[in-house]
Amino acid sequence: MIETISEHGCFGGVQGYYRHASTTIGLPMRFSVYRPPQAASGPLPTLFYLAGLTCTEETFMIKAGAQRVAAELGLILVACDTSPRDTGIAGEADEWDFGSGAGFYLNATEAPWSRHYRMFDYVTEELRSTVVEHFGADPQRLGLSGHSMGGHGALVLALRKPELYRSVSAFAPISNPTRCPWGEKAFSRYLGAEREAWAQYDACELIRGHGRAVYPGILVDQGLADQFLDQQLAPDALEAACRDAGQPLQLRRHAGYDHGYFFIQTFVEDHLRFHHRTLTQATTAAG
């Protein structure tokens, strides 16, 4: 059962916030959906956006300014919370970059996190099927995007589930989390000390593992004034992995832009048009 928290008219469509009892997580989860005016005519291409550390299902919908272009294109937008909440795990909200608000879009294997922290399965299976069944998403035209931790999530989910997603992009993704402080901290506690298990959640490792092009193109934007660029994000490693594997990548570097949502506002239209174009081409090719 889906509980409607609130719905708002927006550019001729509906911006909604919802809650459901997640069987994957074992707790209530919140998500948001923007349905453009074209949703009344049938299933539409749909973009799942994965937010970054400390964010919620509201962040992208409120801060990115994406609905105007989504309404023009006829593109459904979906965002979810970034972790389970109120799990009862001691200290879950003590650190801003681990635990509550920092699920890293993986399935934890280490106790006590493994019981509820199953964001990989939640996004790829339960949330996806919920949006297809109840909100008019076309299951053959699904894309992924995200920011920072969510950019990591978008890349990883898309690279591991290319049968589900047809397009992928990211803003300032954590591209090589097995080799940065954020990733090492999260992976060691969610997945354990064996680093071999971490590779399945590292975009650079997944691209090398494929050894070929998985998508016709990947779009990534990175601000050069990003305060996390040097220590955490590793766009150069992503670029090198794609080059070595033959995976087309458009990595755009922008002077003067930091890690925040003013950066995302500036380039979100490019990402929406990229996804709409790619999803439309995928449907044409399939037909």
Q: Which of 148, 167, 169, 175 is catalytic?
A: 148
Q: At what angle do helices 203-210 and 149-160 cross, to 10 degrees?
A: 20
| DSSP state letters, 91-138 | TTTSBTTBBTTB-TTSB--STTGGGT-BHHHIIIIIIHHHHHHHH-EE
* DSSP tag of 172: S
Q: Is 258 a catalytic residue?
A: no
- Give the three-state DSSP class for 226: coil
Residue 44 neighbours by CB under 8 Å, 6+ apart: 36, 38, 74, 75, 76, 136, 137, 138, 141
Amino acid present at 166: R
Q: Which of 226, 271, 275, 276 is catalytic?
A: 226
CA 68 to each of CA 64, 72, 115, 129, 276: distance values in angstroms, whole numbers, following the listed order: 10, 7, 39, 25, 14
Q: Which among 62, 67, 50 is positioned nearest to 127, based on CA atoms? A: 50
Q: Which among 145, 13, 142 is positioned nearest to 69, based on CA atoms? A: 13
Q: Is 221 a catalytic residue?
A: no
Q: Which of 147, 259, 275, 276 is catalytic?
A: 259
Give burial (CB, 10 Å; 0-12/13-18/19+) of 42.
exposed
| DSSP state letters, 3-16 | EEEEEEEETTEEEE
Cα(153)–Cα(40) distance, rounded to whole angstroms?
Answer: 30
Place of tokens 């009892």: 21
Q: Is 259 a catalytic residue?
A: yes
Structure tokens at 130: 């919920």
Structure tokens at 1: 């059962």
Catalytic residues: 148, 226, 259
